[in-house]
Amino acid sequence: MSVLDPFYEKMEVVVDHLASAAKQIPDDKTEWKPCDKSLEWLFLIHHTGTHRRMILRLFKGEPSNFPGCYAEARQETASGRETAIFLRETWAEFKTYLQSKPEDYAKSIISSPWGGPDLTVEQIAWWVYEECVHHRGQAWVYARMNGITPPSIWGSENI
């Protein structure tokens, strides 16, 4: 059993939620946002996949165009359906890479290129999870503001 097994299980659920939510976005609302300083609806969900790709590059020791990768990501998908595919692909890449590593890889120390303290791979993985949960919550608010019931998380949304 891997120390990252709980992460894999929980992240899989959140990625599925976000992919389902992306498919619900009406084509004429992909750029909708509640105020000028907010992220556009589709990009809000899409960039969770961008985070996984950026962190995967960090794990692999590859250069990352940060923060330029966010601007590039805006061009990657044009619809909720495409974004759902992108989210599942980036999750599969991320998970496959981590699972290909030895058990002790999760405790490897990584220096972030954006500053701050050094973190373990496990800590960074859980940050990716927390970021996705945060954006899932935002996406649910966006949906409700547009009269859409988001995918069920706890089973009580339709009450």
Span 19-61, pLDDT tens digits: 999 999 999 999 999 999 998 999 999 989 988 998 999 999 9
Span 73-104, pLDDT tens digits: 556 778 999 999 999 999 999 999 999 999 99
Least confident of 39-43, 109-113, 124-128: 109-113
Query: Tell me, what's the pLDDT at 113?
Result: 75
Residue 152 lies in a domain: no
Query: Tell me, what's the pLDDT at 115?
Result: 81
Give this prediction's pTM.
0.89
Q: Are 97 and 56 in contact (CB under 8 A)?
A: yes
Query: Tell me, what's the pLDDT at 63?
Result: 80
Query: In angstroms, how far is CA 7 from the centroid of its own chain?
Result: 13
The answer to whether the bond into 67 is cis (omega within 30° of 0) is yes
Give the DSSP H/E element, type plus range, for residue 109: strand 109-110
Query: Tell me, what's the pLDDT at 71?
Result: 60
Residue 140 lies in a domain: yes
**Residue ranges in the chain assigned as alpha helix (H):** 5-24, 41-60, 68-73, 80-99, 121-145
DSSP character at residue 40 = P
CATH of the domain at 49: 1.20.120.450
Q: 66 falls in which pLDDT band (50, 70, 90)?
A: low
Alpha-carbon distance of 148 to 129, in angstroms, equals 24
Q: What is the dihedral of CA 71, 55, 20, 74, to 10 degrees?
A: 10
Number of independent structural domains in the chain: 1
Task: Tokens 């089973």: give the residue.
Answer: 155
Residue 151 lies in a domain: no
Provide the residue range defining the domain that includes 22: 5-145
